[in-house]
Amino acid sequence: MAEFCLECFNKINETNYSKYDCVMSSDLCFCEECNEIKKVVIRIRRTFIDVLLEYLIN
């Protein structure tokens, strides 16, 4: 799986996530876009609304 730092992740996906919106790696990893060693995005946090809608739909 590709690993991107938050800045590169936002640039590639045309989003504006903050570090609080994402689960970041606990250790430093190699960003495949900017070729620097930084914390990378593991996944996007699910909000309460996302969980509630998923529950109501299923």
Q: What is the pLDDT of residues 2-57, one digit of tens each?
A: 899 999 999 999 999 999 999 999 999 999 999 999 999 999 998 888 889 989 99
* C-beta neighbour count of 29 within 10 angstroms: 17
Q: Which residue intervals of the chain are DSSP H helices?
A: 6-13, 48-57
**What per-residue confidence (pLDDT) applies to 2?**
87
In angstroms, the CA 24 to CA 40 distance is: 6
pTM as predicted: 0.80
